[in-house]
Amino acid sequence: MSYVFLSPYLLLTLAFGIFPALYAVVLAFTNGAGDFAGVDNFTQVIADFRFWPAVVHVAVYLVIWLVSLVLLVTLLAIVVHAIRVRWLSTTLRFVFYLPGALAGASSVLLWLFVLDPTSSPVSGLLNLLGFQSFVQVIVPGNLPPVFAIIAFWTGAGGWIVIMYGALNNISAEVMEAARIDGASTLQIATRIQIPLLRKWIAYMGVMSLAAGTQLFVEPQLLSQASNAVVPNDYSLNQLAYQYAFQQNNFNGAAAISLLLLVVALVLSTVFVTRGGLFDTE
């Protein structure tokens, strides 16, 4: 009976996960005629003048996004968990989670309005920071923190709820013993709660890294909304899209995808090993 329940998931995984990935590997190592091309496709995309700027854009965004996510989500989860008023704790979790109900494209469209100093509800803050127009806000140099803010706004709430649940699994006896021994709230957080959240933090890092390397919707919509002030090859996924659908070079697009996969796997391995994700107690 268990195989009956598993079969739809396995079929979908094969159809939309395993087989496309294997096909991408084949494309990356062949040319347009289907002949083996070795590493020619990888050499071509790495030599492209658009490749390394896209790498830098995604790397800077990931650093800002992951650091802010790990620090702020952990902090906010601990703060919400420390609130003893039930209705207030529930309300905060709902408020944090609510932005995640918006799909990626809808969220970016909302932020197009928020980032325009002429109509934004936070126009005073934008003017204080020296921004007088939408174009000034979205110049490429400002985009990594802008994308990190958008990603945090849409994704952090779900992780706060998950971390809150993980905090509830910490033994009440351990927490009470720490309080009896005179541990302060800060000491309990840094010496008990955060170490016991390590696996969950590592899991959050792996999943957020996988999502972050796929940066596409945000710069693509901003590019269209800004009349190409934001370039249409800002991120690696956009560059792969250009290769596939503008240059009709699916082999080069597959090579970029594989490079992204390798980098994501290496970084995820660091999170898994350092976070002890699969360690047993």
DSSP secondary structure, 239-254, as one string: HHHHHHHTS--HHHHH
pLDDT digits (tens, 9 = 90+) for 171-194: 888 888 888 888 888 888 888 999
The predicted structure's pLDDT at residue 105: 67
Model confidence at 272: pLDDT above 80? yes
Q: Read off the pLDDT of residues 95-149 as tens digits, 9 standing for 90 and up.
A: 888 777 766 667 777 888 888 888 888 888 888 888 888 888 888 888 999 899 8
Mean pLDDT within 88-101: 82
Dig out the tokens for 100 from the structure: 């995640």
Q: What span, in angstroms and rounded, lies between the C-alpha atoms of 45 and 166?
A: 43
Q: Helix axis angle, 236-245 relative to 51-82, nearest 10°?
A: 130
User: In order of start, what are the domains of the chain with their CATH numbers?
Assistant: 53-242 (1.10.3720.10)
Here the tokens at position 269 are: 């391995």
Long-range contacts of 32-35 (CB under 8 A, 24+ apart): 32/249, 32/251
What predicted TM-score, i.e. pTM, was given to this entire model?
0.87
- Which residue in the block uniquely carries the two structure tokens 């347009």? 32
- Segment 235-256 shows an average pLDDT of 93
3-state secondary structure of 30: strand
Does the pLDDT at position 70 exceed 60?
Answer: yes
